[in-house]
Structure 1
């Protein structure tokens, strides 16, 4: 599930939900809701997450297992 994937990416960088919220300009509570699947993740946030973690949006959406972006 994509919600698990954003959690894994965050944990791989040893970051808190609060830190990710600050990077994405949202509160820790909103970010936590994204990770739990209680809020749909807006497209602009998906793009920011992908850019920050250096992965493709397709990876976050679980459309591929390939982490790298084609840049």
Structure 2
């Protein structure tokens, strides 16, 4: 569970394992071990990951399915219905077992979102 969520959050930010490792001041192999669930992050690393991705530790360890912290939800100014849809989409992504397919969908969503932002700014 923790590994899947770290991988998803990393890919949603379009980061490589090396990028995340550098940001957290750990080896790339450490991130790989977390994502492949060979090792689990200790308490301090869980806090660092939660802070970096702006999610709760509860989300990382699977105690909640909402990946947005309350402060973040307030800052986004989304309606409750929109937040619910974001969480539903996130759960759908987590449920896709084929990692290649999941990654392709995430990358497509990121490109779409970036395209929408670019067209709005014109």
User: Structure 1-normalised TM-score?
Assistant: 0.92
Q: Which has the higher contact order (CA 8 A, sep 6+)?
A: 1
Task: Kindly indicate whether residue 53 of structure 2 is the aligned counterpart of residue 53 of structure 1.
Answer: yes
- Work out which of the two has the higher radius of gyration on C-alpha atoms and give 1 or 2: 2
- Using the TM superposition, give the Cα deviation of residue 70 of structure 1 relative to its aligned residue in structure 2, in angstroms: 3.3
Task: Kindly indicate whether residue 8 of structure 2 is the aligned counterpart of residue 8 of structure 1.
Answer: yes
The structure 1 segments of at least 4 consecutive aligned residues displaced by more than 3 Å after TM superposition are: none
Correspondence for 2:29: 29
Gaps of 5+ in 1: none
Gaps of 5+ in 2: 72-122
SS of residue matched to 1:38: coil
Aligned residues: 71
Tell me, in whole angstroms, the C-alpha distance in 1 between the residues paired with 2:11 and 2:68: 18
Higher helix proportion, which one? 2
Residue by residue, what CA displacement relative to the aligned partner does 1:26-53 show, whole Å, maximum 9, x if unpaired? 1111110111111121111111111111
